[in-house]
Amino acid sequence: MAKVIMLFEYEGFTRFEVTRIISARTLQLAMGAPPLVRHVTSARDLAMKEFDSGVLPITVRRQMPSA
């Protein structure tokens, strides 16, 4: 019997994923990572601006819930 692989596509991020991405980027910036955008002083504001601009090279992989 062949195993069926189901792909799960979702446009956008959940609120939990957004929080995790921004938190991780804020920590990176606080530890001295170079910023990808300019004209922001706070690490948190900078991470949010980077996320909103779409310049963060982050991908989220989701698994299809088993039926």
pTM for this entry:
0.73
Mean pLDDT for the chain overall: 82
Count of residues in the chain: 67
CB-based burial label for 50 (10 Å; 0-12, 13-18, 19+): buried
In the chain, the number of structural domains is 1
In a domain? residue 42: yes
Q: Please spell the DSSP secondary structure of 16-67, one letter per residue.
A: HHHHHHHHHHHHHHHTTPPPSS-S--SHHHHHHHHHHHT--------PPPP-
Question: CATH no. for residue 24?
Answer: 3.90.940.10
Sorting pLDDT into bands at 50, 70 and 90, what band is 65?
Answer: confident
In a domain? residue 41: yes
In a domain? residue 24: yes
Instruction: Tell whether the model's pLDDT for residue 1 goes beyond 60.
Output: no
Instruction: Tell whether the model's pLDDT for residue 38 goes beyond 90.
Output: no
Segments forming the whole domain that contains residue 35? 15-53
Residues 30 and 47 sit within 8 Å (Cβ to Cβ):
no
Instruction: Tell whether the model's pLDDT for residue 36 goes beyond 70.
Output: yes
In a domain? residue 59: no
In a domain? residue 45: yes
User: How large is the average pLDDT for residues 33-55?
Assistant: 89
In a domain? residue 40: yes
